């Protein structure tokens, strides 16, 4: 059908449409009243599929956009390792600029044009791109508008990620993006990109060089052996050619850098065999190994055992280079493991002659550790706690203004400045020696400023270092966002620059309707609680007090008991640690009751969930999920105190459960004994109610992942759904005895080339049926249980939702509100859910628009199909 005429910008909008049979008709569109949402309109079609009439009336309901609920600022606790936003990966700052591009683990790329501000304002740039799992972001040194980013699984929650879509480039500073043609691997799955370098001039002659760990395993986050390679494109990613010769061998590049001071630029990369290669001719056959596999033979240092170990394996390596003048200095840092003795270790080297010879810098260690005794400190030998997450949390950086200094950070609490020119007798002591601490930390809940001016520290788990040349300050990304050190070559302070970033990874959300309060369990980290509204976020409000946190490890569990007055929040971190309850109060941060860790220790793995009883929320269920012990404990939440767990009793002792529901309704009758769960190790379903107990083999529905989430019909606990690790959707109507795959058209409807990366789900009860809502990396979709089967039809629910992993939902029937947690973009909500589901269930083809589209339609002079495509793509 063709748009023949479009009237001027008036209300209502009149569209004249000419159909394929030559018949013309006028369609009148009326906007939503009193809302910023999108209007529903029906297009009537004849039985022969040739439309002879099109009618529309003033909208009764509107298709609404998803609304952000933050967090968009961090909890203003002490300056020592405060709770912060989600993990940031790499950054790029054009020269002589206040603009900064920031990548996040699962929240895409963000841009700020006022990084020099105390509270920079960030905007997301990649919400509509298919990939939000940013492993690397960079730009051209000659053209500040040429930006590129690559995709890989870099979250510390099991490397969970959305689609692996290679490399995106922008020639306008991130306003628009082009998805390049970087080759896919087998099974149409993307490559694991870990570094991008852009060379060329400002006249558009850019060369993009991409380092990859290899091909991703389909439906898994691991890599296929013998596939690591480097690729190069000279036409904005339209075509790619191999640029390394190690493909076909199980050698893969960990890191790649350029020396821009040479013409052409010299490239280096380091691989998993410990070798470093150099290429000075931009030719695939010109790579020369400048080290061999005996590197780090005896210089590897363990934080507990000292120096002198051979690293059997190298799990990561980082390169950095000082390039001012002619005195170029190349550095490499290794993270690996030693079998004898069993240890995790690090080693660092530098070369002043392009890799021809190397000098060890040993590894950071010191005599002064933070072990407070009275008013002083205890001197004790110990090595820098760079930690055991070096695959993701490891960074080295050469000071671009001083050829002496190397900055090093890892998983642990320390960040070091190394001085390669130090020649004293005690190279591993405190400030001013070979390695110097440049952050402080707490000892016995107090801070004694030793290595910073006022006793400050960034969030732990370093990922990347950069340099702000306008201020000569060190920039550091970590699992709490982005920070600067005000005087990295001396004593300064750490200051966060997170501004209004909203990149938190939440595993679970809870919602209280009475107070409109959201709580979330965050990976990297803490339990978060919101005191802000969607209107606050939309208005750009970002002030202290909008959010607060409870400092735990990585949050796992949150649940509100809204039947109590005031409502009470229950929460834990990983492995059932820091079990707490928090009563809601009118203002400020409520005090918590910290029960302690759920016992026994060792019976629970990292992702251990609890379940609050739906029928009687006085009781909370915690089940073992490691095959050492088999039981579920029911806790009486009216008991317990600080340091004292609530009273408990075992309610079943025959198996472990990975995920479960507790208490439910059927035929209008509540059963508080009901337990319905999945054992992902034993591959069975556990079903218990007053009618008895059953266990059913369920190999199909638990494949692919252990963090299984069950969506249960709140009116009928016999009806539940599971989304497995391969994005298949399974339905049971008989309390787990049998399961049916109802994936239907979800792959096609999302446009996924690999899989939709579906995760969180929830059942929304309707008047005549029930809707199953599922979050995918391509948006949020709904289907209806009376239409489910081999060809289940899925409908996109709501508008303007970023393409981000959706981990959980809460539906509140009182407000008719759907709240979701995401792995990378915080919390979102959708109001007036049932009217939207009702229209989707009707199967009608609908026109929708808001003021933005209202303006767009008025002046768009192409065919109606394009208009609708642009509308529905929001």
Q: DSSP letter string over 351-387?
A: ESSTTSS-EE----EEEEEEEEETTEEEEEEEE----
Question: In Å, how far are 360, 366, 465, 599 from 334, measured between CA atoms?
Answer: 12, 19, 16, 38
DSSP-derived secondary structure letter, 223: B
Please report which helix (H) or strand (E) contains residue 869, including its range.
Answer: helix 864-872
837 within 8 A of 797, measured Cβ to Cβ: yes
- Chain Cα centroid distance, residue 489: 33
805 within 8 A of 160, measured Cβ to Cβ: yes
Spatial CA neighbour of 637 closest among 590, 574, 593, 601: 593
The arithmetic mean of pLDDT across residues 737-745, rounded, is: 94
Confidence band, pLDDT 50/70/90 cuts, at residue 433: low
pLDDT of 436 > 90? The answer is no
Spatial CA neighbour of 825 closest among 65, 66, 163, 70: 70
- Sign of the torsion angle spanned by Cα atoms 515, 518, 521, 527: negative
Query: Pick the residue with more confidence: 707 or 871?
Result: 707
Spatial CA neighbour of 107 closest among 70, 66, 148: 70
Give the 3-state secondary structure of residue 466: strand
DSSP-derived secondary structure letter, 83: -
Q: What digits encode the pLDDT tens for the residues 684-710?
A: 899 999 999 999 988 778 765 556 689
Look at the domain 252-501 and name its fold.
Neuraminidase (2.120.10)
Query: Pick the residue with more confidence: 361 or 530?
Result: 530
The arithmetic mean of pLDDT across residues 387-416, rounded, is: 90
Min mean pLDDT across 25-29, 87-91, 170-174, 250-254 is at 25-29
Nearby residues of 392 by Cβ (< 8 Å), 6 or more positions away = 154, 155, 156, 159, 461, 463
657 within 8 A of 679, measured Cβ to Cβ: yes
Report the distance separating Cα 170 and Cα 160, nearest Å: 26
The arithmetic mean of pLDDT across residues 313-326, rounded, is: 89
Report the distance separating Cα 26 and Cα 22, nearest Å: 13
pLDDT of 834 > 80? The answer is yes
Spatial CA neighbour of 407 closest among 478, 304, 357, 471: 478
pLDDT of 56 > 60? The answer is no
Domain definitions of the chain by residue range? 2-64+849-872, 86-246, 252-501
Query: Pick the residue with more confidence: 119 or 849?
Result: 119
Residue 647: how many CB atoms within 10 A of its CB?
13
DSSP-derived secondary structure letter, 871: H
The arithmetic mean of pLDDT across residues 39-51, rounded, is: 36
- Chain-wide mean pLDDT for the chain? 82
The arithmetic mean of pLDDT across residues 56-79, rounded, is: 67
Min mean pLDDT across 242-251, 618-627, 849-858 is at 849-858
Q: What digits encode the pLDDT tens for the residues 610-620?
A: 999 999 999 99
Q: What digits encode the pLDDT tens for the residues 226-238?
A: 788 999 999 999 9
Strand pairing category for 147-151 and 134-139: antiparallel
Q: For residue 384, what pLDDT is reported?
A: 53
Question: In Å, how far are 158, 289, 312, 331 from 271, measured between CA atoms?
Answer: 22, 11, 14, 14
Residue 472: how many CB atoms within 10 A of its CB?
15
Q: What digits encode the pLDDT tens for the residues 588-638?
A: 889 999 999 998 887 888 888 999 999 999 999 999 877 667 889 999 999
Q: For residue 816, what pLDDT is reported?
A: 97
Q: For residue 293, what pLDDT is reported?
A: 66
Nearby residues of 851 by Cβ (< 8 Å), 6 or more positions away = 31, 36
The arithmetic mean of pLDDT across residues 19-46, rounded, is: 49
Q: For residue 627, what pLDDT is reported?
A: 63
- Chain Cα centroid distance, residue 492: 31
Q: For residue 799, what pLDDT is reported?
A: 84
Residue 374: how many CB atoms within 10 A of its CB?
6
Confidence band, pLDDT 50/70/90 cuts, at residue 809: very high
Q: For residue 302, what pLDDT is reported?
A: 59
Q: DSSP letter string over 391-453?
A: TTS-EEEE-TT-TTEEEEE-SSS-EEEEETT---S--SSSTTSSEEE----EETTEE--SSSS
Question: Averaging pLDDT over each range in 205-219, 373-387, 426-440, 495-509, which range is the top one?
Answer: 495-509
Q: For residue 705, what pLDDT is reported?
A: 58
Q: For residue 845, what pLDDT is reported?
A: 39
Strand pairing category for 365-373 and 435-437: unpaired
Min mean pLDDT across 351-365, 403-417, 473-487 is at 351-365
Confidence band, pLDDT 50/70/90 cuts, at residue 370: very low
The arithmetic mean of pLDDT across residues 150-170, rounded, is: 92
pLDDT of 204 > 70? The answer is no
Question: In Å, how far are 44, 183, 334 from 214, measured between CA atoms?
Answer: 51, 11, 20
410 within 8 A of 393, measured Cβ to Cβ: yes
Query: Pick the residue with more confidence: 473 or 200?
Result: 473
Burial letters 748-784, b for 16+ CB under 10 A, else e: ebbebebbbbbbbbbbbebeeebbbbbbbbbbbbbbb
- Which residues are registered as beta bridge partners of 406? 398, 418
Report the distance separating Cα 680 and Cα 702, nearest Å: 6
311 within 8 A of 334, measured Cβ to Cβ: yes
Report the distance separating Cα 534 and Cα 749, nearest Å: 29
Q: The pTM is what?
A: 0.89
Nearby residues of 857 by Cβ (< 8 Å), 6 or more positions away = 6, 13, 15, 29, 849, 867, 871
The arithmetic mean of pLDDT across residues 320-329, rounded, is: 87
Q: For residue 270, what pLDDT is reported?
A: 95
Report the distance separating Cα 108 and Cα 147, nearest Å: 13
- Can you state the percent helix, strand and coil of the chain, rounding each to 5? 5, 40, 55
Q: For residue 154, what pLDDT is reported?
A: 93
Question: Averaging pLDDT over each range in 249-263, 322-336, 812-826, which range is the top one?
Answer: 812-826
Which one of 3.10.310.30, 2.130.10.10, 3.30.1380.10, 1.10.3720.10 gives the CATH number of domain 86-246? 2.130.10.10
pLDDT of 464 > 60? The answer is yes
Three-state SS letters, 443-458: ECCEECCCCCCCCCEC
Q: For residue 344, what pLDDT is reported?
A: 76
Residue 131: how many CB atoms within 10 A of its CB?
28
Q: DSSP letter string over 530-594?
A: E---HHHHHTT---TTSEEEE--SSEEEEEEETTSSS-EEEEEEGGG-SEEEEE--SSSPPP-EE
Residue 117: how many CB atoms within 10 A of its CB?
12
Q: DSSP letter string over 592-635?
A: -EEEEPPSSTTS--SS--EEE-SS-TTEEEEE--STT---EEEE
Q: For residue 105, what pLDDT is reported?
A: 96
Three-state SS letters, 702-721: HCCCCCCCEEEECCEEEEEE
Please report which helix (H) or strand (E) contains residue 858, including its range.
Answer: helix 851-859
Q: For residue 441, what pLDDT is reported?
A: 72
pLDDT of 682 > 70? The answer is yes
Burial letters 591-608, b for 16+ CB under 10 A, else e: ebbbbebbeeeebbbbbb
Q: For residue 794, what pLDDT is reported?
A: 93
Confidence band, pLDDT 50/70/90 cuts, at residue 501: very high
Residue 61: how many CB atoms within 10 A of its CB?
17
Report the distance separating Cα 242 and Cα 211, nearest Å: 10
Q: For residue 35, what pLDDT is reported?
A: 46
What angle (nearest 5°) sits at the alpha carbon of residue 190, between those of residues 188 and 192?
Answer: 150
Cα of first residue to Cα of last residue in the chain, in angstroms, is 22
Spatial CA neighbour of 41 closest among 20, 56, 31, 60: 56
Spatial CA neighbour of 97 closest among 117, 115, 118: 115
Q: For residue 381, what pLDDT is reported?
A: 39
Min mean pLDDT across 191-195, 753-757, 795-799, 858-862 is at 858-862
């Amino acid at each position: 059908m063709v748009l023949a005429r479009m009237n001027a910008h008036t209300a209502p909008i009149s569209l004249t449409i000419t159909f394929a049979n030559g018949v013309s008709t006028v369609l009148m569109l009326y906007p939503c009243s009193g809302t910023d949402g999108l209007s529903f309109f029906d297009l009537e079609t004849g039985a022969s599929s040739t439309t002879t009439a099109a009618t529309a009336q003033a909208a009764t309901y509107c298709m609404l956009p998803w609304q952000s609920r933050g967090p968009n600022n961090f909890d203003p606790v002490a300056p020592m390792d405060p709770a912060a936003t989600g993990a940031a990966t790499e950054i790029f700052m054009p020269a002589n600029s206040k603009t900064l591009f920031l990548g996040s683990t699962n929240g895409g790329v963000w841009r700020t044009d006022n990084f020099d501000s105390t509270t920079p304002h960030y905007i997301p740039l990649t919400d509509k791109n298919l990939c939000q799992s940013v492993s690397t972001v960079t730009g051209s040194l000659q053209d500040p508008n040429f930006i590129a980013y690559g995709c890989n699984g870099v979250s510390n929650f099991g490397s969970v990620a959305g689609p692996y879509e290679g490399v995106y480039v922008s020639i306008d500073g991130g306003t628009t993006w082009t998805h390049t043609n970087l080759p896919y691997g087998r099974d149409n799955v993307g490559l694991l990109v870990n570094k991008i370098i852009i060379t060329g001039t400002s006249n558009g002659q850019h060369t993009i060089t991409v380092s990859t760990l290899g091909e991703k395993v389909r439906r898994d986050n691991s890599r296929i052996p013998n596939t690591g390679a480097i690729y190069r494109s000279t036409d904005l990613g339209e075509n790619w050619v191999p640029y390394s010769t190690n493909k076909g061998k199980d050698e893969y590049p960990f890191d790649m850098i350029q020396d821009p001071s040479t013409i052409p630029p010299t490239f280096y990369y380091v691989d998993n065999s410990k070798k470093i290669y150099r290429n000075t001719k931009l030719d695939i056959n010109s790579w020369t190994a400048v080290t061999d596999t005996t590197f780090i033979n005896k210089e590897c240092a363990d934080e507990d055992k000292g120096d002198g170990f051979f690293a059997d394996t190298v799990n990561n390596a980082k390169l950095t280079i000082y390039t001012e003048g002619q005195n170029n200095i190349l550095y490499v840092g290794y993270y690996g493991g030693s079998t004898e003795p069993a240890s995790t270790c690090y080693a660092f080297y530098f070369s002043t002659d392009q890799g021809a010879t190397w000098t060890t810098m040993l590894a950071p260690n010191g005599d002064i550790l933070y072990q407070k005794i009275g008013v002083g400190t205890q001197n004790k030998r110990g090595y820098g706690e760079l930690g055991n997450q070096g695959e993701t949390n490891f960074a080295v950086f050469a000071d671009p203004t001083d050829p002496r200094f190397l900055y090093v950070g890892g998983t642990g609490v320390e960040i070091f400045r190394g001085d390669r020119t130090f020649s004293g007798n005690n190279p591993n002591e405190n400030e001013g020696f070979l390695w110097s601490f440049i952050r402080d930390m707490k000892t016995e809940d107090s801070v004694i400023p030793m290595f910073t001016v006022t006793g400050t520290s960034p969030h732990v788990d370093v990922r990347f270092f950069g340099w702000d040349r306008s201020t000569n300050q060190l920039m550091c990304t970590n699992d709490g966002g982005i920070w600067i050190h005000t005087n990295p070559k001396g004593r300064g302070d750490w200051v966060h620059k997170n501004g209004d970033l909203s990149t938190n990874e939440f595993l679970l959300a809870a919602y209280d309707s009475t107070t409109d309060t959201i709580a979330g369990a965050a990976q990297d980290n803490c339990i978060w609680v919101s005191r802000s509204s969607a209107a606050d976020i939309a208005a750009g409000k970002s002030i202290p007090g909008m959010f607060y946190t409870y400092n735990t490890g990585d949050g796992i569990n949150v649940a509100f008991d809204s039947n109590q007055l005031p409502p009470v929040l229950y929460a834990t971190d990983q492995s059932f640690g820091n079990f707490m309850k928090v009563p809601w109060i009118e203002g400020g941060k409520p005090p918590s009751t910290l029960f302690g860790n759920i016992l026994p220790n060792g019976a629970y793995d990292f992702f251990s969930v609890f379940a609050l009883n739906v029928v009687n929320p006085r009781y909370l269920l915690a089940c073992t999920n490691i095959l050492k012990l088999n039981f579920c404990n029911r806790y009486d939440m009216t008991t317990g105190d600080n340091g004292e767990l609530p009273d408990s009793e075992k309610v079943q002792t025959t198996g472990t459960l990975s995920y479960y529901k507790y208490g439910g309704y059927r035929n209008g009758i509540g059963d508080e004994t009901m337990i319905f769960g999945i054992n992902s190790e034993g591959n069975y379903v556990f079903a218990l109610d007053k009618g008895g107990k059953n266990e059913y083999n369920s190999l199909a529905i638990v494949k692919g992942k252990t963090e299984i989430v069950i969506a249960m019909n709140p009116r009928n606990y016999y009806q539940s759904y599971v989304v497995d690790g391969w994005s298949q959707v399974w339905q049971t109507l008989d309390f787990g005895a049998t399961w049916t795959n109802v994936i239907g058209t979800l792959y096609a409807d999302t446009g996924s080339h690999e899989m939709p990366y579906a995760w969180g789900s929830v059942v929304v009860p309707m008047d005549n049926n029930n809707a199953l809502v599922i979050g995918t990396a391509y948006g949020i979709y709904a289907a209806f249980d009376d239409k489910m089967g081999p060809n289940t039809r899925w409908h996109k629910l709501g508008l303007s939702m970023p393409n981000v992993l959706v981990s959980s939902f809460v539906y509140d029937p009182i407000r008719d509100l759907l709240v979701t947690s995401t792995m990378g973009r915080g919390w979102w909500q959708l109001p007036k859910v049932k009217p939207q589901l009702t229209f989707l269930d009707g199967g009608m083809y609908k026109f929708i628009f808001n003021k933005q589209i209202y303006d767009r339609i008025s002046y768009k002079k192409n065919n109606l199909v394009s208009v609708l495509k642009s509308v529905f793509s929001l």
